[in-house]
Structure 1
């Protein structure tokens, strides 16, 4: 398998000439090469961000994700927070339940020499800040130090310009609260005047049950005069003699050994040319962002689109070294794993740390499957490596181990979609066996969120016996998200996706068994057409309202979760009285949700607000983000086009630090969703049927060109062209693909990846 990092042709910066008092105009013209990183707005929604949300001096999925931290306590509300004006350090790891290696350049004087280990924070101003993908620069006002950050995949690269005639130092804050966990047992050892090695332990969290040791190697372009250790804090200060040139510092990390940290540094960053690394990072990002090119609409919408796409390509982090070594924490004892190598001795794929794939069926499955099949395959191979090590395909691994984040077996639709699209072609029987294990006793379905020590909270035994998971679980509370109705709906969908793979592999008995289980959703539909929890006796939940939030449903209410039947909307509609009745019901929900701009406020925390929790459709969290495209499945593509365009404008149209994803941007899921809605292609069932189908929406651009990967698909490009496309025209009169008119506004994956032109004629 080829690595997803591909060579990129030279890209040129496009100059925008838009006067302030003029209306926004279309900015992307044909036959011009664009620096797509210049369009990314990294600070989008950073007033609401969390530890793994923000990246600046980072490569796609980089092991190192170097950026400044304004808040350092907790996984939520931490990391880079736009409205907090204080820098508390520059740390190298912002991953799902992982943090580590925080540093801070300082100047010393009589006033702070004795207190610097505890008093080193500095104010800064956004006026003196530059943030682009792969680069971050700001001034520490307390010290008048200009800080610049960039990186390779595994090495952070710092550039500090100190004021003249000052005492210069760099603090290594290795023992501290840092994001989701404490950093402890921090050690730094000097090799020579310019080289150091160290380690720090990311202590266990509620979600990541085992400690994780982080090794690092440091190289500097200037000699360290003294290495000082503070006995009280356990932290270290590097003292320098009056630096006349900017200090350059490389920090390479590894989760396996000091030696591999050194190898990562030597392999990825053997030189000292800071600007070259900045340019290489820009080129790396552009090689991926340029796979989807959009034309038409405004500069603002171009910037928002490439910011969304940037989010879809970050967050989940590499944890393997350049030689394929990785941390394996799946067993009773920690061990160093080894990825398989190709004929040249390079790893066939990278290993990853990842938040849950919960909701990926409507986001990553489609976007990665269409434009980034190489990345898709890498993640699948990494998840299979966890299966080989620990016996289960994970749903969100951290620190080389299972976290049991969220619920169900979301890896099943992730893998099945990859197989149905031809991205995964080998060892399908083995993959099937691995996925099937999760759907039976002893598998991951049994475990509710973060249930590390038992397998009771998921209620799978009840689901298999009664056809539903009771709420509350009569056996007690064992993990998070033990909401029985939500679990039932999720299991039924995932069973259906596994059945599709069983059908492909001619496993008739398994196919029939899991198809039968996939109908279990119907046990929860009440006479009013809402999903409603049942107790262990099969009795309906008392004092039920479809607007009760998280009372039987996972991060949602009954109104939102009623439509979590991605595999059988025709069957659901029949139970509701027919397609007409189902359409009317869902359309009413959209009209009501529009009053609150289709989201439960502007952050994940606001979902519990008395008003926001009652919203019938929420595009700020995963459980109901497919709903606009359900109309297409019910014979009303016009309503899919109308509401998807409305949602795109209201939810994913802004460009400011105060808003952007309006809720739970779980490592690129909502960014991916925004991209798909803006290009007008979606897959309601996650692309898991035999020849996956795309539902056509209402693209917001005049032209979209997707570069198809030649290692996976026969076509060169897929173009989507719009005629009469304006903000007031959301409806599509006619769709033509390669000169053939399309019925029902759906098209197959096989057709699309053969390449060609999809023409959409909008209503005048």
Structure 2
């Protein structure tokens, strides 16, 4: 078993929320050690015939349960494929911030098909036995934390034994105690598959001597992270083996969207029934039935239309051990498109559930196998490949197999290249240090596809959204850091997109003040107007951190312009990129809040954290003045000069010692690598190793020191473990990696064939160990490296980087010219 949550130090890198979270995780770990000890055994796919022992593949090291306690909606144990639309997974929480799956809750309320940030829909649950309980019909989940007995069984929720829960990339399975049914899940990009193994059941409704039929419930209004209003539901039974329908939803992120589905079954249903529950207007009297009115039930129907709390179920008569396979195609365009997705992606399989699970495993195996690591423990490999897996699970394809998608104005659009895709995600805030370098290095085709998605949304909406949740213009976080992915892709030779359009979009978004979106939401930078007027964002207008983030984006644009030979634009944005100096107080050596008249805001509290909704009063977006005083990724040497090298290093070392450095969140992810620029590269080696050893593990109760954020903390770990980083997000005309101490003795990168010629790059860390963390010397293809830098162009040529490791810092290495 890997490091338990209790191993975390009390002096943590991160703010107090995560310290409290880890204390809670520690207590839970003590209570759940037996469950955690059995977690290793439960990480497996569908049962197969016994075979001889084989060498473990990268996919075998993935622990899909990592961090699934107190996690958010987009971190789930169920199956998906890389950036899959369908993320089919068990849910067991109520309507809370961490809705979805909670590892410590031993019950399940449903298996829903969508778990990307802000998106949800189509929850399915098997059930057996009578529907009636406490004068109610079991057409709702029930409470996740209720006691056993009549209160617990008020809804259709089912308990399960943790020992029966098994999962791996592409598969999830569990035996449901109350439902007396085994449920198994797998998925393709746009379809979700469930295989239910039912007990023997009757089919006589209302017969007291009958066990009742087996049922598959479709709940359209179930707890999610975002408060979702179900505005309209339509369902039609096409045949005893097929349903089709739509769910029109409204939430905070995105505003409004419709989920279309077509479900096909391997066994004909006896009947279709529905429920509709009116809003509760009375007083709660019985736990488990609070805030609910009796549902209106309709049996033997062919069509259903409802809203809010409603759903349908299919009834079956089953023999003991009989399996029913259901597969559902999902689309955000139309029922016809959902059917097309279903037919296209499942045609090779029929109802062969195991073949689909095997295909999902192969897809993950190919991606994870692009990096081979050797040396150190099996636990370290588990952490590495789990993080590499998570980097590609959170964000989601939104377009259909033929390239159709629904834009922010609810209009159907068509991609010019159907093989491309559009994607939904949380904000790209901070991704210049994690997802961008990882994607452009390991999966350049996916990076190229993301760029084309941005440009498609620019075509239809006139702007590139920083947070394209549901392909809409969601106002999440700030700045325009998705531009880093566009520019880094171009600088690395990933250019399968309209370069002129990419430049036009970049220039437009960075020169046009933010405004209301064309069909809701918000586009552009909110404080761009005052930023351009004053050269910084005044305290009266917004968070001071925006000055620093806007200046970084300006640098990114200047590098793009330089690469394209646009001299005037390059000079214009390069000048704007120096705006960070206007936020810098030379007397204190810190970034400070500044008023419109140029005076500094007093008193100064460099450690006041800017929480969500309080950025303006604190001045710093999810950070502190101390943290943002190091946020100049485009010009670190100049920042060191301005602060003073000695003072810069003293502050940064103190920050690691006292917990001022916040590795749980985006603004400070670069902190360990700053020492490469301040004359102490051995401290980059020390602290990058420290971060990996102390703030990552594969425990279900922790996993990450903060919110994993749809692949951001995961990507960061993978880069740290390879000893690679890109301070400026890889956006310079000649992109360069910052080097540090790799975790493994040998790392083999199998580079992309189309973009990088299919070459191999090897990183060897000689005499590497838990204590030998310092680089003594380095060679690239036999030639000495005097500085901790590696050009991207040299890496993708293939070759070998050899690092001689030792237990003490070599203070003479890494300072050469």
Q: Pick one of 524, 527, 532 that aligns with 1:464.
A: 532
- When residues 742 and 715 of structure 1 are mapped into structure 2, their CA distance, relative to the original with a 3 A threshold, is farther
Asked whether the 8 Å contact 1:175–1:185 carries over to 2, the reply is no
Distance 1:534 1:619, change over 3 A: same
Equivalent residue for 1:4? none
Conserved in 2, the CA contact under 8 Å of 1:45 and 1:658?
A: yes
Q: Give the whole-Å Cα distance in 1 for the aligned partners of 2:497 and 2:190.
A: 30
Q: Which residue of 2 is the match for residue 538 of structure 1?
A: 598
Aligned to 1:734: 777
Distance 1:451 1:726, change over 3 A: farther
TM-score (norm 2): 0.82
Q: Does 1:219 align with 2:264?
A: yes
2:692/2:721 contact within 8 Å kept: yes
Do structure 1's residue 627 and structure 2's residue 671 form an aligned pair? yes
Q: Measure how far apart 1:159 and its partner are.
A: 0.6
Deviations 1:1-24 (A, max 9, x none): xxxxxxxxxxxxxxxxxxx9xxxx
- Asked if residue 562 in structure 1 is aligned to residue 629 in structure 2, the reply is yes
Q: Judge conservation of contact 1:62–1:318 (CA < 8 Å) in 2.
A: yes
In 2: Cα distance, 1:468 partner to 1:288 partner: 43
Q: Specify the alignment match of 1:608 in structure 2.
A: none
CA-CA distance at 1:585 after TM superposition = 2.2
Give a deviation string over 1:300-334, Cα, whole Å, max 9, x none: 111010000001111110111111111112x3xx2
Q: Which residue of 1 aligns with 2:800?
A: 757
What is the TM-score normalised by the length of structure 1?
Answer: 0.87
- The answer to whether the Cα contact below 8 Å between 2:243 and 2:262 also exists between their aligned partners in 1 is yes
Structure 1 residues 160 and 455, CA gap change in structure 2 (3 angstroms): closer
Report the Cα distance in structure 2 between the residues aligned to 1:374 and 1:201, rounded to whole angstroms.
33
Partner of 2:361: 282
Alignment match, 1:234:
310
Kindly indicate whether the alpha-carbon contact (under 8 Å) linking 1:177 and 1:183 is maintained by their aligned counterparts in 2: no
Report the alpha carbon displacement of residue 55 of structure 1 after superposing the two structures with TM: 4.3
**Counterpart position of 2:740:** 697
Residue-by-residue CA offset, 1:270-325 (whole Å, 9 max, x unaligned): 31111111111111110101001100010111101000000111111011111111
2:399 alignment counterpart: 320
| 1:611 corresponding residue in structure 2 | none
Q: Is the 8 A contact 1:564 1:623 kept in 2?
A: yes
Say which of 330, 333, 342 aligns to 1:265.
Answer: 342
Distance 1:395 1:708, change over 3 A: same
Distance 1:33 1:433 in 2: 50
2:791 counterpart (737, 742, 748)? 748
Match of 2:456 among 385, 398, 402: 385
Structure 1 runs not aligned, ≥5 long: 1-19, 21-31, 342-346, 474-481, 594-615
Aligned to 1:28: none
Pair 1:322–1:110, CA change in 2 (3 A): closer
How far apart are 1:398 and its partner, in Å? 1.8
Shift in CA distance, 56/545, structure 1 to aligned 2, threshold 3 Å: same
Superposed CA offset, 1:187-220 (max 9, x none): 2210111111011122131x322x1011100111
2:223 is the alignment partner of 1:156: no
Please report how far the alpha carbon of residue 455 of structure 1 lies from its aligned counterpart in structure 2 after TM superposition: 7.1
Hey, what's the Cα distance between the residues in 1 that align with 2:667 and 2:173? 38
- The 1:110–1:669 alpha-carbon spacing in structure 2 relative to 1, beyond 3 Å, is closer
Between the aligned partners of 2:635 and 2:317, the Cα distance in structure 1 is 70
The reply on whether 1:199 has 2:246 as its aligned counterpart is yes
Partner of 1:395: 466
Task: Check 1:629–1:451 CA distance in 2 against 1; reply closer, same or farther (3 A cut).
Answer: farther
SS at match of 1:647: helix
CA distance in 2, matches of 1:540, 1:84: 50
| CA distance in structure 1 between the partners assigned to 2:268 and 2:523 by the alignment | 55
Write the deviation string for residues 593-629 of structure 1: whole angstroms up to 9, x where unpaired.
2xxxxxxxxxxxxxxxxxxxxxx20110010000111
User: Number of residue pairs matched?
Assistant: 688
Query: 1:503: which partner in 2?
Result: 562
Deviation at 1:506, TM superposition (A): 1.8
CA displacement at 1:251 relative to structure 2: 1.1
CA spacing shift, 1:435–1:647, aligned 2, 3 Å: same
1:102–1:455 Cα change, 3 Å: closer
Give the distance between the partners of 1:522 and 1:147, measured in 2 at CA: 58
- The 1:396/1:456 distance shift into structure 2, 3 A limit, reads closer
Q: 1:563-613: CA deviations, max 9, x gaps?
A: 110001111111113x233222212222222xxxxxxxxxxxxxxxxxxxx
> What is the Cα deviation at residue 86 of structure 1?
2.3
Per-residue deviation at 1:246?
A: 0.7
The change in CA–CA distance for 1:184 and 1:84 in structure 2 (over 3 A counts) is farther
Correspondence for 1:81: 102
Map 1:295-334 to 2 at 5 A: 295-329=374-408, 331=409, 334=410
Q: CA 1:620–1:521 in 2, change beyond 3 Å: closer, same or farther?
A: same
Deviation (angstroms), 1:698: 0.5
Q: Tell me the secondary structure at the aligned position of residue 712 of structure 1.
A: helix
**Equivalent residue, structure 2, for 1:24:** none
| Residue 124 of structure 2, aligned match among 103, 114, 129 | 103
Task: Give CA-to-partner distance per residue, 1:311-360, whole Å, 9 cap, x none.
Answer: 1111110111111111112x3xx21111123xxxxx13111111111111
Question: Are 2:58 and 1:36 aligned?
Answer: yes
State the superposition RMSD in angstroms. Answer: 2.1
Q: CA deviation at 1:425?
A: 5.6
Contact 1:72 1:88 in 2 (8 A): no
1:541/1:85 CA distance change after superposition, 3 Å: farther
Aligned-residue offset at 1:525:
1.7
> Retained in 1: the 8 A contact 2:748–2:763?
yes
> Once structures 1 and 2 are overlaid, which stretch shifts more, 52-61 or 363-372?
52-61
Between 396-405 and 622-631, report the one with greater CA deviation: 396-405
Q: 1:91 to 1:759 in 2, by over 3 A?
A: same
Moved more, 265-274 or 535-544: 535-544
Residues in 1 aligned to 2:503 and 2:649: alpha-carbon distance in whole angstroms: 36
CA offset digits 1:656-704 (Å, max 9, x no partner) = 1111111121110110000000110111111111110111111110000
CA contact (8 A) 1:429 1:505 kept: no
Give secondary structure in 1 for the equivalent of 2:756: coil
Q: In structure 2, what is the equivalent of residue 492 of structure 1?
A: 551
Query: Is contact 1:63-1:318 (8 Å) kept?
Result: yes
User: What's 2:235 paired with?
Assistant: 188
Q: Report the counterpart of residue 418 of structure 1 in structure 2.
A: 489
How far apart in 1 are the matches of 2:643 and 2:545? 19
Given candidates 442, 446, 453, the residue that maps to 1:371 is: 442
Return closer, same or farther for 1:104/1:630 CA change in 2, 3 Å cut-off: same
Matches within 5 A, 1:328-727: 328-329=407-408, 331=409, 334-341=410-417, 347-424=418-495, 427-442=498-513, 444=514, 458-473=526-541, 482-483=542-543, 485-526=544-585, 527-550=587-610, 551-577=618-644, 579-593=645-659, 616-652=660-696, 654-714=697-757, 716-727=759-770
Going from structure 1 to structure 2, the CA distance change for 1:754 and 1:456 (only over 3 Å counts) comes to: closer
Contact persistence 2:248–2:258 (CA under 8 A): yes
Q: Deviations over 1:15-42 (max 9, x none)?
A: xxxxx9xxxxxxxxxxx85332221111
1:429: how far off? 2.5
